[in-house]
Structure 1
Amino acid sequence: MKSFICVCFVVVAAASAKSQDVEAFTKSQIAPDVVHVAPSKLLKVEYKKTNKEVHLGNELAPKDVRDAPSVTYSGDPHAFYTLVMTDPDAPSRKNPKAKEWNHWLVGNIPGSDLSKAQVLTEYVGAGPPKDTGLHRYVFLLYKQPGKITFQEEHKSNTNGNRAKFSTENFAKKYGLGNPVAGNFYQAKFDDSVPALHSQLH
């Protein structure tokens, strides 16, 4: 199955994060639950169809994040980047035995042109199980050391084999270093959207 990526992703710029923005990653325990070093720049992430914007832990409804968001940045035109979206709270933050649940994984992004990227894991929006509280949905951008031949199995948007992903292990495997930009939102169960962790596993 050929992977693809919508041009609607190419809309947003990464801005320098203020100190309080960086602190949000530690206060929310994304550092160290997902990464040990918080990103130094803030990604602006927008769900255009529902007019919702991600901002450092704000709460969004699963029904508003079904379609892939716009995520763009001012990248080095001669470099390649990787974008990760992950949920470390699977099936719940109190009992994250399936952490991390990988929602989206895009590699070999040339500069900031996401339309020419390699989709490793197709986007799936938030779908927390009932009675599991708020989940954190984390976007992280990495600058690659060069173009990479990824060994990951391509996962379609109906493939539920996404549990126990490790952003840090993935970054180490391909020499990505620390994330250069990031953002995150939170979401809880919405009875209008199926619980993905149970639906796709």
Structure 2
Amino acid sequence: MKAKYLLPLLAVVSFTSSAMTLTSKDIQEGSRMADTYTYNGFGCSGDNQSPQLSWSGAPEGTKSFAITAYDPDAPTGSGWWHWMAIDIPASQQSLKRGESPKIPGATELHNDYGVKGFGGVCPPKGDGMHRYQFTVWALPMAKLDLPKGASNALVGFMLNSKALDKATLTATYVNE
């Protein structure tokens, strides 16, 4: 009788594999980020530079990219958005270190610090290790249609609902 219910459950499970990759000369998967990428404010003192990023393997039909940086460990109940760059032309496959907030052709939105562009890492002192998820999103439209003043949560929802594919690189930081 249990097998009768297992088959329908298995039928709805699907597995997809991402062809996209995201790499960086500045940050590595699972490794601590340098102070170069630390925010300068909120009790932190760093250079607040966005890291170099490169991506490849975007699916056919990609018309633009978006880049986000998100800390799911922030003590807010909803995480912390460090970066939202949308409408990056499909012809672009990388960003230089410190290129934010002037990415050619892109729109950079307000991060959770309240400023446009990249806002570096800055977990509260003594809060332990935080993860920083840098994600590149392949989108089927040249411009993401957002209402004026859209929240970062709404942008995240739109990216998740529209993306053809995505790739994530997760780095860490501890503020001791």
Identity of aligned residues (%): 22
Cα-Cα RMSD: 3.0
Which of 30, 38, 44 pairs up with 1:57?
30
Q: Which of 162, 184, 200 is residue 170 of structure 2 equivalent to?
A: 184
Aligned length: 132
Change (3 A) 1:168 1:40: farther
Gaps of 5+ in 2: 1-15, 38-47, 93-102, 111-116
Please list every run of 5 or more consecutive structure 1 residues that lacks an aligned counterpart in the other structure: 1-36, 47-52, 92-96, 155-160, 191-201
String of CA shifts for 1:86-114, please: whole Å, max 9, x gaps: 000012xxxxx433210000111111434
Match of 2:67 among 63, 80, 83: 83
TM-score, normalization: structure 1?
0.55
* 8 A Cα contact 1:77 1:111, kept in partner: no
- Structure 1 residue 104 and structure 2 residue 93: aligned? no
Structure having the higher Rg: 2
Would the alpha carbon gap of residues 144 and 187 (structure 1) be closer, same or farther in structure 2, given more than 3 Å must change?
same
1:71 to 1:142, Cα distance in 2 relative to 1, 3 A: same
State the alpha-carbon separation in 2 of the partners of residues 118 and 38 from structure 1. Answer: 29
Identify the match of residue 153 of structure 1 among 149, 154, 159: 149
Please, what TM-score do these two structures have when normalized by structure 2?
Answer: 0.62
Distance 2:146 2:71 in 1: 22
What secondary structure does 1:129 align onto?
coil
